[in-house]
Amino acid sequence: MDRWVRVEKRAVSKDNPEGQCCSPRSKVERGGGAGELYPMLSVEEASQQLLSHFHVLEPEPVPVLESLDRVLAEDVYADADIPPLDNTAMDGYALRAADTKGAAPESPVELHIVADLAAGYVSEIPVTPGTAIRIMTGAPIPRGADAVVPFEDAEREGDRVLIFKGVEPGANVREAGEDVRRGALVLRRGCRIRPQEVGMLATVGRKDVSVTRRPRVAILATGDEVVEIDAPLGPGKIRNANSYSNAAQVLAAGGEPVLLGIAHDQVEDLTAKIRSGIARKVDMFLTSGGVSVGDFDVVKKVLAAEGEMTFWRVRMKPGKPLAFGRIGGVPMLGLPGNPVSAMVSFELLARAAIFKMLGQTDSERPTIQATLMDGIKRKDDRRHFVRVRVWEKDGAYEAAMTGEQGSGILSSMVEANGLAIIPEDWSSVPPGSRVRVMMLGGTPPRSGQEGDR
Ligand code: AMP
Ligand code: MG
């Protein structure tokens, strides 16, 4: 039996502030299978509904080096001034700036060297008028000294030194606390830890640090035609690309994929595999395939029978057939089966859920404005995410489609470094249109290096 989904109201979005409809096609969409009426949601509506099901996970301590690429779960404060004491930025002579007044190559000032000081030691001998201490980078400025003249501007003669250049007080001196003051907030909760954050943690004495636990994400492929990557490719079979591309996306976002293999297009097998996945204490469940309106699209059926389905279908291309709900207390996202749809809908919906669970504050992919070289034909009023290659030319960005845009064409995804966003209410996209492009990592190469990835 055919079922019809009536879309009551066109979504209002940033790209479509009036919620305009451009084509009568959007009024009524053919649906089916789930036995209920589900309005097709905008990307924003779907994302908002989905994200309301996720919360920040609990923190866990890790040794500082293992915190790389994790999300900081605590605010970190400095336990001491950094650097702890005034010290020299150069190898040279610590002295009183006043003693160097008028020093020049033709009229050097002569001082008596009273000590040698290496980094890591404090001089007990002070600098008094007419004296200097030979000092190495990082060593604390001796009492009485207020400046350092580098070796390049001095010449040693036995226990005396000739200074060829006058300096002001403070010259070549790094002040105590000039980097960080004791008690200052040095790292904020919610940041992704890069090598520089690791360095800061080390410098404030943090051997261990609190990071958010990695979200565990179950990944289950569906389809009688899908076989594992090391299985023979029999007639009518295809390899399981989605579990691996989605798992890689989970890893890149900071989650921990839990691969559950492939379920047959059969309620019993899918139900059993979903139940066993949930038993593995996951924070999110991803399936791919089986959410469309075909005879064997059983994911929606199982989602509705075992849990509840919140929404189905999003006004986007690729990726329209997409189901979301909960099973056994776990939010479950049924991604479409086509490999590009599965990846793009992960990008737009699942990735943000992982970032929310991690408590990461800046999670948006950067977007840029680019001039699109190609024209794009529109056949519907969904938001299109077009695989493009972006490059920089004369200080501006240009983009070109990477090839066929079918939702099964993974090669044009491989060539892409961004997704051009064509808003729902654009009826045509002529060549030369200015478009917003969501970058998929990395910055656009310069013109002439378009082949670089
Ligand atoms: P479905 O939505 O299940 O009808 O799948 C749509 C298309 O995606 C079909 O051509 C499937 O063969 C393909 N597909 C489904 N699952 C996978 C997978 N795990 N890896 C690669 N292709 C898949
Ligand atoms: Mg299928």
Angle (nearest 5°) at CA 160 between 158 and 161: 110
* Longest CA pairwise span in the chain (Å): 103
CATH classification of the domain holding 162: 2.170.190.11
Residue 169 phi, psi dihedral angles, 5° rounding: -55, 140
CA–centroid distance, 301 to ligand 1, in Å, is: 17
Q: Does any domain span residue 51?
A: yes
Look up the domain containing 409 and give its range.
367-439
Write out the DSSP string of 301-359. HHHHHHEEEEEE-BSEES--S-EEEEETTEEEEEE-SSHHHHHHHIIIIIHHHHHHHHT
Q: Does any domain span residue 450?
A: no
SS3 427: coil
- The residue from 324, 356, 388 where one domain ends is 356
pLDDT (average), residues 89-115: 98
Specify the residue with its C-alpha closest to ligand 1, atom 16: 337
pLDDT at 168 over 60: yes
CATH classification of the domain holding 190: 3.90.105.10
Shared domain check, 287 and 204: no
Shared domain check, 313 and 223: yes
Shared domain check, 184 and 157: no
Out of 242, 333, 338, 344, give the residue to mutate to test ligand 1, the one with the largest number of ligand atoms within 8 Å of its CB.
338
- The residue from 115, 149, 174 where one domain ends is 174
- The residue from 356, 378, 410 where one domain ends is 356
Predicted pLDDT at 1: 30
CATH classification of the domain holding 372: 2.40.340.10
What length does the chain have?
453
CA–centroid distance, 296 to ligand 2, in Å, is: 7
pLDDT at 445 over 80: yes
Shared domain check, 420 and 295: no
- Where residue 174 falls among pLDDT bands split at 50, 70, 90? very high
Q: Does any domain span residue 28?
A: no
pLDDT (average), residues 401-413: 97
CA–centroid distance, 378 to ligand 1, in Å, is: 24
State the pTM of this model.
Answer: 0.88
Shared domain check, 235 and 139: no
Q: Give me the percent of the chain exceeding a pLDDT of 90.
A: 86
Shared domain check, 64 and 208: yes
Q: From CA 264, how far away is CA 68, in angstroms rounded?
A: 39
Shared domain check, 185 and 66: yes
Shared domain check, 417 and 287: no
Nearby residues of 35 by Cβ (< 8 Å), 6 or more positions away: 3, 304
Ligand that comes closest to the CA of residue 243: 1
Ligand that comes closest to the CA of residue 296: 2
Predicted pLDDT at 377: 87
Q: Does any domain span residue 9?
A: no
Pocket-forming residues, ligand 1, beta carbon under 6 Å: 221, 223, 225-226, 238, 240-243, 288-290, 292, 294, 336-339, 408
pLDDT (average), residues 386-407: 97
CA–centroid distance, 105 to ligand 1, in Å, is: 79
Shared domain check, 393 and 274: no
> What is the tens place of the pLDDT at every residue in 245-303?
999 999 999 999 999 999 999 999 999 999 999 999 999 999 999 999 888 889 999 99
Shared domain check, 218 and 202: no
Ligand that comes closest to the CA of residue 294: 1
- Where residue 362 falls among pLDDT bands split at 50, 70, 90? confident
CA–centroid distance, 283 to ligand 2, in Å, is: 24
Shared domain check, 243 and 347: yes
Q: From CA 331, how far away is CA 424, in angstroms rounded?
A: 28
Domain count, the chain: 4
Ligand that comes closest to the CA of residue 262: 1
CA–centroid distance, 224 to ligand 1, in Å, is: 10
Shared domain check, 309 and 226: yes
pLDDT at 19 over 60: no
Q: Which of 386, 390, 382, 384 minimizes the C-alpha distance to 452?
A: 390
Which is higher by pLDDT, 160 or 8? 160
> What is the tens place of the pLDDT at every residue in 306-343?
999 999 999 999 999 999 999 999 999 999 999 999 99
Predicted pLDDT at 449: 56
The region of weakest confidence among 5-19, 140-154, 188-202, 211-225 is: 5-19
